[in-house]
Structure 1
């Protein structure tokens, strides 16, 4: 739950973006914010933030890696696939961390999060983005 809700703050899109960031981190790390490893000042947000960028591959849910690595190895060279996957995971974790900042003013705007996630997806899938002239 967003910190402002614990202090009597009103429901807003700022809380929604916080929840989105936490959900993103949960999905990619494979741990809930209530997991027993998160005690004291260590939270899911902090855990992900501390891993960026060098240790992302260590904290990502290994189930996701095994499925994705299998699919990538069929279509690309192993080294290229690993590098591409790691860069996309680092970018995804950055979005999750930026969305789940404690301070409302430090959180990524919902529109910016959407644009960044689409950019990551397109980069990972190798989709070229072309602007259309209307």
Structure 2
């Protein structure tokens, strides 16, 4: 408030928005008190516990889709699940990089958008979420 618009501030907001969308949590939730924050929770979960931190609705929708397509080979399902988890990790890493505490440490918005497009293209190429 009272300051000029600055791309480093905008990229911070973009990063927090990504974290909110993919975790289903708000940075103002009561669970974040003291030094605990949405960003810190995501950092602690990456990469091994990404499924624990993403919005359960995202995981549920994938699992429901997997059940509907039970004619796919098990190897196919495993490959798709790995691609989805890798994509979630990458997206959350972008959110973390964009929302770094110090503005000079934040990811440039053009790099963030390019990375999101790269993830989308990988998912499309693998016919995931067309």
TM-score range, shorter chain: 0.7 to 0.9
| Separation in structure 2 between the aligned mates of residue 86 and residue 9 of structure 1, nearest angstrom | 39
Which residue of structure 1 lines up, in the alignment, with residue 21 of structure 2?
Answer: 27
User: Which 5+ residue runs of structure 2 have no aligned equivalent?
Assistant: none
| Separation in structure 2 between the aligned mates of residue 98 and residue 78 of structure 1, nearest angstrom | 30
Aligned length: 121
Please show how residues 11-26 of structure 1 align to structure 2 within 5 Å. Answer: 11-26=5-20
Which residue of structure 2 lines up, in the alignment, with residue 117 of structure 1?
Answer: 116
Which residue of structure 2 lines up, in the alignment, with residue 130 of structure 1?
Answer: none
Residues 25 and 45 in structure 1, CA contact (< 8 A), matched pair in contact too: yes
| Separation in structure 2 between the aligned mates of residue 11 and residue 46 of structure 1, nearest angstrom | 26
User: Which 5+ residue runs of structure 1 have no aligned equivalent?
Assistant: 128-134
- CA shift, 1:126, in A, is 1.4
Please show how residues 82-121 of structure 1 align to structure 2 within 5 Å. Answer: 82-121=81-120
- CA shift, 1:9, in A, is 5.0
TM norm structure 2: 0.84
CA RMSD across the alignment: 1.8
